[in-house]
């Protein structure tokens, strides 16, 4: 796995040097700084810089002179037009998402902004696109925006309820071990259950289940792609390894990668780890091609030399999407009965790539798992998690709304309709609608593990994430003893991972490592 990471870093370093050439920081025919100087500026090793320069040489951007180092290619030597167009299209796509994000954050969007953006299609001057991005970054907040959503730790603490929930309950070591094992298994089961239909809307999932005679969902999906109606979503490329009769382990998924990785972060750095420690773990263990949306932008920003929390904001319009929320679980596992500690650990992880509700989603889930490990009361679990996030945030409002709707609704589908009406405007992998689906599953699952994860998946959208989160929270409540063994026996105690040096681990070892850290902490 390590060679993947080196290649990825070299590609990103090449991108930075290429950008400087395009913007005129290095002129045509000019000698580039020595490799050791570039390594110092970019915060990477000299071999990575050398590899990046070779990439640029192959593309025609850089020329090597015998005994003289690397030079920017002279006019006519580099394919600048094609590459600039590729970068331009990527930047414009990010800006389209950025405008949506700014609207959701309550920024004052001037009339004609989208038209101005589309006119940038006509330019090859990346400086103009950068200036437009800077203009957007400086937009002011709408005066009528009803929410207050800080991203800094002190601001979040001020906006929480005056007395955040502190658990007074404890469980004996044997019960705790059972619950931790239930949480790990629950996450693995929920992720695997939702993996084949990741990104599918509710109606497509329902149609497929009915076509295969398996509605409502009560077990892993049957693999029958011929049953998918024309015009509906196809299976996820890795679907078959997560379907009934074809499961031999927990398939590799980022929802599991991050849980293992964050356990590793605390093993190596202790409970006082920093966001920079998380960043270093990403660069050391995570291949770049296995991270997505907000995490991909943050990873690239790390290589550009940025540090948290700036890695979360620069050219990152995905900063409130679900990526941080799926990284929460290990912090809940490691703080049983202490939701405030769990939320603070999650915060240090989240700020690497997320802001506002992206951060709150991770804090909420970590706190919920923390309380679920010591409580049998679902309402207590949700309220404990709610007490850790800003009261005047959209996420806090969502949780309260879903709980209120669920009290009077006759079915989970009825609440799902209300969620769609209220939060359907958000992207399918945004934190808010997906957290709502997790809550719907928990509130209507009646503490039945199989029913709960099935509802989370049948709600649609980010099905593997939501199945994993619902499974983790409820698994922490009911323990391994409350999970049907036919759901975890197919795993053979094995988990696949993309993490360098951890490509396959045993579930038992993850539970043991978690228990050891809890006892040490």
- State the binding site for Mg(2+): 248, 254-255, 462, 464
Distances (CA, A) of 214 to 191, 204, 230, 414: 19, 14, 19, 21
What angle do helix axes 449-458 and 173-194 make, rounded to 10 degrees? Answer: 30
168 three-class SS: coil
How far apart, in whole angstroms, are the C-alpha atoms of residue 320 and residue 360? 9
H-state helical runs in 195-325:
202-211, 254-269, 275-285, 293-303
Longest Cα–Cα distance of the chain, Å, equals 78
Q: Could you give the dihedral angle defined by the CA atoms of residues 392, 397, 398 and 404, in that order, rounded to the nearest 10 degrees?
A: 160
Task: Identify the CA nearest to 399 among candidates 425, 427, 367.
Answer: 367
- Rounded to 5 degrees, φ, ψ at 425 are -70, -20
Length of the chain: 521
Task: Identify the CA nearest to 477 among candidates 168, 165, 263, 171.
Answer: 171
Q: Are 416 and 459 in contact (CB under 8 A)?
A: yes
Backbone torsion region of residue 32, taken as left when φ is above 0, otherwise alpha when ψ lies between -120 and 50, otherwise beta: beta
Backbone torsion region of residue 172, taken as left when φ is above 0, otherwise alpha when ψ lies between -120 and 50, otherwise beta: beta
Residue ranges of the annotated binding site are 248, 254-255, 462, 464
- Rounded to 5 degrees, φ, ψ at 60 are 95, 10
* Residue 394: burial class (beta carbons within 10 Å; 0-12, 13-18, 19+): buried
- Rounded to 5 degrees, φ, ψ at 55 are -60, -45
Token match 């050891």: residue?
Answer: 516
How far apart, in whole angstroms, are the C-alpha atoms of residue 365 and residue 414? 24
Q: Are 204 and 232 in contact (CB under 8 A)?
A: yes
Q: Are 366 and 183 in contact (CB under 8 A)?
A: no
Instruction: Please give the radius of gyration of the chain, using alpha carbons only, rounded to the nearest integer.
Output: 24
- Rounded to 5 degrees, φ, ψ at 446 are 55, 35
Token match 């414009």: residue?
Answer: 92
What angle do helix axes 431-444 and 356-372 make, rounded to 10 degrees? Answer: 20
Q: In this structure, what DSSP letter does residue 163 have?
A: S
> Structure tokens of 34?
């020595």
- Rounded to 5 degrees, φ, ψ at 505 are -135, 160
């Amino acid at each position: 796995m390590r060679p993947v990471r080196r290649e990825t870093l070299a590609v990103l370093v090449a991108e930075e040097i290429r950008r400087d050439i395009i913007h005129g920081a290095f002129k045509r025919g000019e000698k580039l700084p020595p490799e050791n100087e570039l390594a110092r500026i970019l915060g990477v090793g000299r071999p990575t810089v050398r590899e990046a320069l070779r990439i640029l040489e192959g593309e025609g951007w850089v020329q090597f002179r015998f005994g003289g180092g690397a030079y920017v290619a002279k006019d006519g030597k580099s394919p600048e037009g094609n590459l600039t167009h590729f970068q331009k299209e990527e930047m414009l796509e990010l800006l389209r998402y950025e405008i949506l994000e700014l609207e959701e954050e309550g920024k004052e969007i001037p009339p004609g902004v989208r038209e101005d953006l589309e006119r940038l299609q006509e330019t090859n001057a990346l400086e103009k696109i950068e200036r437009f991005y800077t203009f957007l970054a400086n937009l002011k907040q709408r005066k009528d925006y009803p929410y207050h959503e800080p991203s800094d730790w002190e601001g979040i603490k001020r906006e929480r309820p005056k007395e955040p929930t502190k658990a007074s309950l404890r469980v004996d070591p044997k019960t705790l071990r059972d619950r931790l094992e239930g949480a790990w298994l629950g996450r693995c089961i929920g992720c695997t259950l939702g993996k084949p239909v990741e990104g599918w809307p509710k109606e497509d999932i329902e149609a497929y289940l009915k076509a295969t005679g398996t509605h409502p969902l009560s077990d892993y999906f049957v693999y029958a792609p011929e049953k998918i109606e024309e015009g509906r979503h196809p299976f996820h490329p890795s679907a078959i390894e997560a379907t009934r009769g074809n499961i031999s382990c927990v398939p590799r998924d980022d929802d599991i990668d991050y849980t293992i990785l964050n356990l590793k972060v605390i093993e190596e750095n202790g409970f006082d780890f920093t966001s920079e420690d998380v960043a270093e773990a990403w660069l050391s263990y995570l291949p770049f091609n296995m991270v997505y949306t907000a995490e991909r932008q943050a990873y690239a920003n790390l290589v550009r030399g940025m540090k948290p929390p700036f890695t979360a904001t620069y050219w990152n319009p995905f900063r409130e999407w679900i990526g941080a929320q799926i990284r929460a679980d290990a912090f809940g596992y490691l703080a049983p009965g202490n939701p405030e500690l769990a939320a603070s650990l999650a915060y240090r992880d989240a700020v690497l790539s997320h802001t506002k509700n992206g951060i709150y989603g991770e804090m909420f889930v970590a706190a919920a798992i923390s309380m679920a490990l010591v409580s049998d009361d679902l309402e207590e679990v949700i309220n404990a998690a709610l007490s850790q996030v800003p009261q005047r945030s959209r996420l806090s409002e969502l949780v309260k709304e879903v709980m209120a709707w669920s009290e009077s609704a006759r079915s989970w589908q009825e609440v799902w309709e209300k969620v769609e009406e209220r939060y359907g405007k958000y992207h399918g992998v945004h934190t808010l609608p997906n957290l709502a689906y997790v809550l719907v599953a928990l509130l209507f699952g009646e503490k039945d593990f199989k029913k709960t994860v099935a509802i989370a998946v049948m709600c649609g959208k980010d099905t593997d994430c939501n199945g994993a989160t619902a499974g983790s929270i409820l698994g922490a409540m009911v323990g391994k003893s409350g999970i049907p063994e036919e759901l975890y026996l197919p795993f053979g105690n094995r988990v696949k991972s993309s993490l360098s040096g951890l490509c396959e681990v045993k579930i038992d070892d993850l539970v043991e490592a978690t228990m050891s850290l809890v006892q040490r902490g």
